[in-house]
Amino acid sequence: MDWHKVAESIHEFNFQENNMCVISVADKKISIGLFDNKIFAFSYKCPHASGILSNGWIDNTGNVVCPVHRYKFCMENGRNVSGEGYYLKTFPIEIRENGVYIGIENKNFFSFLKI
């Protein structure tokens, strides 16, 4: 896994009124959600119909809600909590002394080898 510094602090994120924003890291767009003073990183698009998740909202239990069909996903583990069976890709995010980091799997042709 490669760790990418995405901000000096949580205050650098340009959160919208819905407590979400989008960043670009390692040639990917990633959504960032803020709930209960915790930040979460997850896919830019919904796995069901490719709705832009940052255009949705975070419900009162901390799930991100897709604006297209209102599918709900846990921002922590990606589980679809509205029962449709889809999973949202999530990314580990850490607040360290020197900044905010997101972990992205380094996938290449040989990544299946556990050396």
Residue 112 lies in a domain: no
pLDDT score at 94: 98
**Structural domain of 68:** 2-104
pLDDT score at 75: 98
Residue 110 lies in a domain: no
Prediction pTM value: 0.91
- Count of domains observed in the chain: 1
pLDDT score at 112: 60
Residue 109 lies in a domain: no
Tell me, what CATH number does 32's domain have? Answer: 2.102.10.10
Residue 115 lies in a domain: no
Q: What is the mean pLDDT of each run of 10 residues along the chain (115 residues)?
A: 97 98 97 98 97 98 97 97 93 98 84 59
Mapped onto helix, strand or coil, the DSSP state of residue 11 is: helix
Residue 111 lies in a domain: no
